[in-house]
């Protein structure tokens, strides 16, 4: 089966998209997609489980496509995956946030122009340059009664544990990572295989369990108390953009206490600049500035043609030998050395030493 180490389906097999419908379905089922009998629906509607538990028409684009459009999206998936280099594929394998099996809140616009390639990139969560695209809609999972209802089943199934520990500690823990969602997808696939025609009724049982207040997403007491207090209040001020009227209301009863009518601002007026201070009329949009004709004044002071350059002057340079201030250099010659050169001068104390011989 073509599921990677993150639990997402990838088209690693070779597919012939030009063949007939039954051949395509057979090839996809051999590749791990329960196309024909996916939860008793068929036509591949639930192969990625992104529609289960999501509210109303917002179940997602995949659930609202027809079968041929699903084939086209998977063909784009196959072409994209086959076109990846080994290095690009290795880099993408490190990320667990992309995949067709994660709900991203992408809607299906029946009135718009169909674009299978664009739809694929929205559903997989990657742009055409493989940068991150549509993000996972965790709020939809946490607000879904079905997905709240199967948290205990995911926690109790040891096959869905991570490193020996359950993915949820409490039934009110939120969905906040892809491992939890893909574990839920695996549990839904397992039930679809085991229960057959009882699959949908069993899901309704999970919905009832998930709707219980004890299954709501965990919040602290002060957060719940705060939400209750806020819900008791009414907006103290509202503004009607159509009429330009603002309403001050009582925060408890919602009764209108006062209204304020805002006149629309006057249309913008074009500003005129003049260099003659006597013509200034600010009420009519005429303003004086001393810089208006500054550019013309500068240009008027510049001759049309540049003048002739001055002739070069002769250089009278005197180059002198550099003599260092350090006098130690002259002592390098022996004759100038204070000890190895000339003898002591005649008045030196060394010439005044008297030699006394013994016995004289």
Mean pLDDT in residue range 279-298: 80
At 17-28, the pLDDT tens digits run 999 999 999 999
**Of 224 and 184, more confident:** 184
Mean pLDDT in residue range 289-296: 73
Q: What is the pLDDT of residue 38?
A: 47
Q: Is the whole-model pTM more than 0.85?
A: no
- Which among 101, 123, 119 has a CA at the least distance from the CA of 109? 119
pLDDT confidence bin for 350, thresholds 50/70/90 = very low
**Whole-number Å distance between alpha carbons of 254 and 239:** 14
pLDDT, mean over the chain: 80
Mean pLDDT in residue range 86-108: 90
pLDDT confidence bin for 338, thresholds 50/70/90 = low
Q: Which of 192-201, 246-255, 295-304 has the highest mean pLDDT?
A: 192-201
With a CB cutoff of 8 Å and minimum separation 6, the contacts of 107 are 57, 58, 60, 61
SS3 assignment for the chain:
CCECCCCCECCCCCCCCCCCHHHHHHHHHHCCCCCCCHHHCCCCCCCCCCCCCCCHHHHCHHHHCCHHHHHHHHHHHHHHHHCCCHHHHHHHHCCCCCCCCCCCCCCCCCCCCCCHHHHHHHHHCECCCCCECCCCCHHHHHHCHHHHHCHHHHHHCHHHCECCECCCCCCCCCCCCHHHHHHHHHHHHHHHHHHHHHHHHHHHHHHHHHCCHHHCCCCCHHHHHHHHHHHHCCCCEEEECCCCEEEEECCCCCCEEEEEECCCCCCCCCCEEECCHHHCEHHHCEEECCCCCHHHHHHHCCCCCCCCCCCCCCCCCCCCCCCCCCHHHHHHCHHHCCCCCCCCCCCCHHHHCCCCCCCC
Mean pLDDT in residue range 96-113: 84
Does the pLDDT at position 57 exceed 70? no
Does the pLDDT at position 360 exceed 70? no
Lowest mean pLDDT among 48-52, 173-177, 332-336: 332-336
Q: How many CA atoms lie within 13 Å of 51's alpha carbon, on the beta-carbon side?
A: 19
Q: What is the pLDDT of residue 79?
A: 94
């Amino acid at each position: 089966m073509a599921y990677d180490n993150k639990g997402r389906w990838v088209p690693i097999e070779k597919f012939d998209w030009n063949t007939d419908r039954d051949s395509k379905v057979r090839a996809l089922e051999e590749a791990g997609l329960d196309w024909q009998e996916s939860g008793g629906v068929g036509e591949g509607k639930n192969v990625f489980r992104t529609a289960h538990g999501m509210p109303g028409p917002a179940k997602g684009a995949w659930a609202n496509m027809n079968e041929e459009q699903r084939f086209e999206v998977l063909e784009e998936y196959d072409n994209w995956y086959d076109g990846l280099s080994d290095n690009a594929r290795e880099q993408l394998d490190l990320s667990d946030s992309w995949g067709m099996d994660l709900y991203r809140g992408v809607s299906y616009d029946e009135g718009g122009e169909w674009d299978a390639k664009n739809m694929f990139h929205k559903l997989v969560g990657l742009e055409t340059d493989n940068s991150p695209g549509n993000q996972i809609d965790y709020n939809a999972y946490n607000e879904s009664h079905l997905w709240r209802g199967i948290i205990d089943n995911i926690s109790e199934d040891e096959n869905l544990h991570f490193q020996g520990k359950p993915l949820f500690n409490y039934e009110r823990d939120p969905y906040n990572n892809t491992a939890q969602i893909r574990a839920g997808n695996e549990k839904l696939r397992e039930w679809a295989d085991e229960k057959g025609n009882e699959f949908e009724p069993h899901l309704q049982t999970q919905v009832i369990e998930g709707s219980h207040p004890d299954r709501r997403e965990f919040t602290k007491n002060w957060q719940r108390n705060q939400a209750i207090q806020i819900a008791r209040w009414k907006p103290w001020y509202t503004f009607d953009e159509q009429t330009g009227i603002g309403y001050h209301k009582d925060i408890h009863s919602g009764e209108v206490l006062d209204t304020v009518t805002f006149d629309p601002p006057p249309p913008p007026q074009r500003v005129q600049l003049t260099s003659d201070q006597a013509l200034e009329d600010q009420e009519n949009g005429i303003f004086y500035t001393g810089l208006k004709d500054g550019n013309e004044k500068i240009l008027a002071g510049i001759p049309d043609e540049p003048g002739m350059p001055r002739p070069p002057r002769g250089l009278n340079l005197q180059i002198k030998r550099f003599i260092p201030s350090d006098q130690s250099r002259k002592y390098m010659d022996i004759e100038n050395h204070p000890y190895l050169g000339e003898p002591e001068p005649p008045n030196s104390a060394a010439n005044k030493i008297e030699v006394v011989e013994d016995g004289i």
